[in-house]
Structure 1
């Protein structure tokens, strides 16, 4: 299935070309998502400014649990697949963690207590757009305020990313992982 919106044609504006070149490892074409967003340099720049893929207040593993779980819950296979392909090994995800981000829940044996809290945060935000007082108390005992804000913002940002990739029907990147069967 083809994407509903084609990627921007080259050549890109000079600063856009430079930004796209920095986003991926040498020799790897920028993601279809980035090239599609490059149709609107303003939207692309705003998207990149909000991405939260820098070294933040949480570990790379915590970040990937939040991102992958959010994309899994939203059915955002394109983005989930990119993150699994590019980060799963780096954060020590095995088959159980990969599957759990897409189909499991916070009680899966692959998660430690801290990670269960992240999954619960993502799931509760996804289901209710809120975090109840009981979960907040557990989160506040484990995470600093800055970390909680980052986890909440990551969840919201990757809801938006999932909306974009789903609505535009972006096909999976050639190297992107696919959801486990049944998702």
Structure 2
């Protein structure tokens, strides 16, 4: 099934081309999400101005936990699969953790206390669009306030990205991972 809105075609305007050259690994074509946004230079610029994929208050693993859990909760196999393909091995996600990001809970045995706090935040944000007091205190036990602000922004940004990828019905990138099939029942911590 084709995407609902066709991506922009080459050549891209110079400003868009420059950004795509910076963010894509050598030899990897721009993501369909990016080329679709490239249809409008203003929207493309606004989309990338909101990016939080730089060095901030979070480690790469913490960032990827938020992105992967949020996109999984939103059913965005497109974005989840791209991030798993590019970053899953770099942050040492085990096969059990990859499966748990999609089908598990923050209390699964495969997660550290810090990982669990991040995933709990993602789950309550997704469910309630807020963070309850118990979850907030768990976050505060592990993270500085600036890191928590970044976590909230990152989860919100990737909920927006999930809206885009799902509503546009973007076809999966050829190298992207697929959502794992639910494996055997796991024991919670």
The verdict on a shared fold, with TM-score over 0.5 as the criterion, is: yes
Matches for 1:1-183 after TM superposition, within 5 Å: 1-181=1-181
> What is the DSSP-based 3-state SS (H/G/I as helix, E as strand, rest coil) of the residue aligned with 1:90?
coil
Once the 2 structures are TM-superposed, how far is the Cα of residue 181 of structure 1 from its aligned partner?
A: 2.4
Q: Measure the CA separation in 2 of the matches of 1:144 and 1:59.
A: 13
Task: Find the aligned partners of 1:94 and 1:141 in 2 and give their Cα distance.
Answer: 25
Q: Distance in 1 between matches of 2:166 and 2:8?
A: 18
TM-score (norm. length: structure 2): 0.94
* Alignment RMSD (CA, Å): 0.8
How far residue 67 of structure 1 moved from its aligned partner, in angstroms, is: 0.3
CA drift at 1:133: 1.1
Question: Would the aligned equivalents of 2:99 and 2:181 in 1 still touch at CA under 8 Å?
Answer: no
1:118-165 Cα shifts (integer Å, max 9, x gaps): 000000000000111111112112110010001111110000000000
Instruction: Give, in angstroms, the shift of residue 10 of structure 1.
Output: 1.2
* Structure 1: gaps (5+ residues): none
171-180 or 15-24, which moves further after superposition? 15-24
Cα shift at 1:51? 1.5
- Distance of 2:134 and 2:67 partners within structure 1: 23
Q: Which whole-Å deviations, capped at 9, do the CAs of 1:8-30 have from their partners, x for residues lacking one? A: 01111111111111111111101
Deviations for 1:86-106, whole angstroms, at most 9, x for unmatched residues? 000100011111111111110
With normalisation by structure 1, the TM-score equals 0.97
Q: Which runs of at least 4 in structure 1 moved beyond 6 Å after TM superposition?
A: none
Per the TM alignment, residue 108 of structure 1 is displaced from its structure 2 partner at its CA by 1.1
